Amino acid sequence: MEIDILEKHDNILLERTELKVKVKHAKGSTPSRKDLSSALSEALGLKKEVLVVDSMVNRFGRDETELMARIYKTVEKARSVEDDHILKRNGLWEEPKKKDGK
């Protein structure tokens, strides 16, 4: 996969870096969110847990995908900022612990 960073923005308030990325992949089916996240984290030298892929867009018949990703400083910060459904998509979701121990 060939990865090109189109835009990069540091969001100081939410302690994250926001990326717009174009990934060129081999002809065939679109890679999964997990595969794209792994390739991007490897290319940037990051742990997978701090990278959140928000959206993916693939045009019909093209071998490239544009995605929006966010890089957090810590996993805890990602869990406190991101919506639950985005965390579930990226495999970062943990069930909240109940107060009564059940």
28: pLDDT strictly greater than 80: no
pTM (two decimals): 0.80
Sequence-distant (6+) residues with CB within 8 A of 101 are none
Euclidean distance between CA atoms 89 and 68, whole angstroms: 14
Q: Could you tell me the domains of the chain? A: 2-89 (3.30.70.330)
**Structure tokens of 49?**
């847990």
- The pLDDT of residue 13 is 92
For residue 33, name the pLDDT band (cuts at 50, 70, 90).
confident
